Amino acid sequence: MSILGSGILKGFGITFRNLFAAKVTRQYPEVRPTIPDRWRGRLDLIYDPFGEHKCEVCFQCAQVCPVEAIDMSGFDSQGNRIRYGMPEIYDERVDPNAYRRAGLAARPMRNPARWDDEVDSAFVRELVAAYQARPEALVAIFGAIQARYGYLPERALRLVSDLMTIHWAQVFGAAGLGGFRLLPSEGHVITVCSCASCRFSGGDALLAALRQDLGINPGESTADGTFSLETSPEVGAGATSPAMRIDTLVYGPLTADEARHLLHQRRETAAARSVAAGAS
């Protein structure tokens, strides 16, 4: 038996208690959540510098995934249809590699120039032979190739894959690990995130510092072609704001000094390379 109006009083009691209860709002970006070490953020396939998915259906990820969450199917580089679990649907329709994996006529590559780079195959053969095609020498071989060409030409990598009988996915994956370039050096593209979170937490100051440091505005390139600057609201670094992307690597949260330091590193590397090229 409830008295008339007791429900209303109960409601008033709840709101009154809530008045003093702990609040659930998080004061982002002043108060950052503690992010667990194994946090992976939004899961997405990684793109290579040519704008294509790096996934080559090598199943390395599926094999190491402890909860077997990864399934895929497709054609490997040898043209064999391979399947690990349920057919992959994600992003297949827009991915040029998906055309190839599905056995359809490939869409034109976005950067066909990469296929036209002739390499000195004798040089690559000698190089591989010098290391006796040992797999652990792969990175050393990459280093030698990059020292000669300034980057890792696709055809050289294909040749290395054939000569060393290492799966193309593994060769390509190792080349993408860092320190190696897959395109001729055309300067670095620096993208400063202009999303609300980044701008709020100092992104504008970061951009201003970079503009001053490089002497260019967004959308321009430096005179020597080493850097070009642009902004995008979709660097999408989330908790790492203010964020900046150099080519494909995302850095953040950054102060203006840290950003200058990153630019300085790139400058030194470029200077060293140009000295080496001049000597050879």
Partner 1 sequence: MDFSLLLGIGRFVLATTLLLLLTVPTAFIIIYLELKMIALMQLRIGPNRVGPAGIFQSAIHGFKVLGKEDVTPDQADRPIFTLAPWMVFMAAAMSMLVIPFAPGLVAFDSQISVVYFFAIIGLSVVGLLVAGWASYNKYSLLGGLRSAAQMVSYEIPLTLSIVGVVILTGTLSFTQIIEWQRLHGWAVIWQLVGFPVFYIASTAEINRTPFDLVEADSEIVAGFATEYSGMRFGFFFFAEYVALFIMSGILVTLFFGGWLAPWPFPAQLSGFLGSLYGLFWFMLKTYIFVLISIWARATLPRIRVDQLMGMAWKALLPIALVNLLVTAAVVVIFNL
Binding positions for partner 1, rule: CB under 8 A:
8, 11-12, 14-16, 18-19, 21-25, 27
Neighbours of 145 (CB within 10 A): 24
Which residue lies nearer to partner 1 by CB, 19 or 177? 19
Cis peptide before 29 (omega within 30 of 0): yes
How many Å apart are CA 247 and CA 5, to the nearest integer?
65
Smallest gap from Cβ 201 to partner 1, in A, equals 14
Give phi and psi for 207, each to the nearest 5: -60, -40
Which residue lies nearer to partner 1 by CB, 3 or 279? 3
How many Å apart are CA 269 and CA 110, to the nearest integer?
28
Smallest gap from Cβ 22 to partner 1, in A, equals 8
Sequence-distant contacts of 266-271: CB under 8 A, at least 24 apart: 266/188, 266/226, 266/227, 267/226, 270/185, 270/226
Smallest gap from Cβ 171 to partner 1, in A, equals 53
Which residue lies nearer to partner 1 by CB, 204 or 220? 204
Smallest gap from Cβ 21 to partner 1, in A, equals 6
Q: DSSP string spanning 227-258? A: EEEEEETT---GGG-S-EEETTEEE-S--HHH
Smallest gap from Cβ 182 to partner 1, in A, equals 45
Which residue lies nearer to partner 1 by CB, 15 or 80? 15
Which residue lies nearer to partner 1 by CB, 11 or 51? 11
Smallest gap from Cβ 3 to partner 1, in A, equals 15
Give burial (CB, 10 Å; 0-12/13-18/19+) of 221.
middle
Give phi and psi for 115, each to the nearest 5: -80, -15
Which residue lies nearer to partner 1 by CB, 22 or 177? 22
CA count, 13 A, side-chain hemisphere, 84: 16
Whether 159 and 165 have beta carbons less than 8 Å apart is answered as: no
